[in-house]
């Protein structure tokens, strides 16, 4: 693999997660992103109370993302072989943390009625 292209990355992710699960995750990510943008445009401001609660979910999202990737690749933390493995795992954790925060903030904003204190 001399060139790292988008097609190569998609093929690798389809191989790891399976075609159906991979595209379901992509679709879910698109839906959550569109809903988050909708909430930001609708509210015209960030609710710091909801943002704090979303930040509390970040460690759980990081752990869940790392666990999910380790489960899907049938790996263990003991299988980390070098710096690039650690960098990728940290990237997965950061992605899971940010994704969890966005998901929690969006769900809170869509399910709760806005109040004057938010």
Span 29-54, pLDDT tens digits: 999 999 999 999 998 888 888 999 99
Q: Is 104 exposed, middle or buried (0-12, 13-18, 19+ CB in 10 A)?
A: buried
Q: pTM for this one?
A: 0.83
Model confidence over 100-116: pLDDT tens digits? 999 999 999 999 866 55
Residue of 97, 95, 104, 92 lying closest to 52 (CA atoms):
104
- The Cα 58–Cα 96 span in angstroms is 7
CB-based contacts of 106, cutoff 8 Å, min separation 6: 32, 35, 36, 39
Q: Which pLDDT score is estimated for 67?
A: 96
The residue length of the chain stands at 118
Tokens standing for 113? Answer: 């009625």
């Amino acid at each position: 693999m001399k060139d790292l292209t988008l097609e190569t990355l998609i093929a690798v992710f389809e191989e790891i997660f399976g075609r159906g699960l991979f595209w379901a995750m992509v679709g879910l990510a698109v839906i959550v992103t569109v809903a988050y943008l909708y909430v930001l445009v609708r509210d015209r401001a960030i609710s710091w109370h909801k943002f704090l609660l979303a930040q509390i979910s970040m460690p759980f999202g990081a752990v869940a993302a790392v666990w999910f990737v380790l489960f899907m690749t049938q790996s263990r933390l003991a299988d980390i072989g070098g710096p690039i493995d650690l960098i990728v795992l940290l990237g997965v954790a950061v992605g899971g943390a940010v994704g969890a925060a966005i998901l929690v903030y969006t769900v809170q904003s869509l399910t709760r009625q806005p109040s004057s204190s938010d």
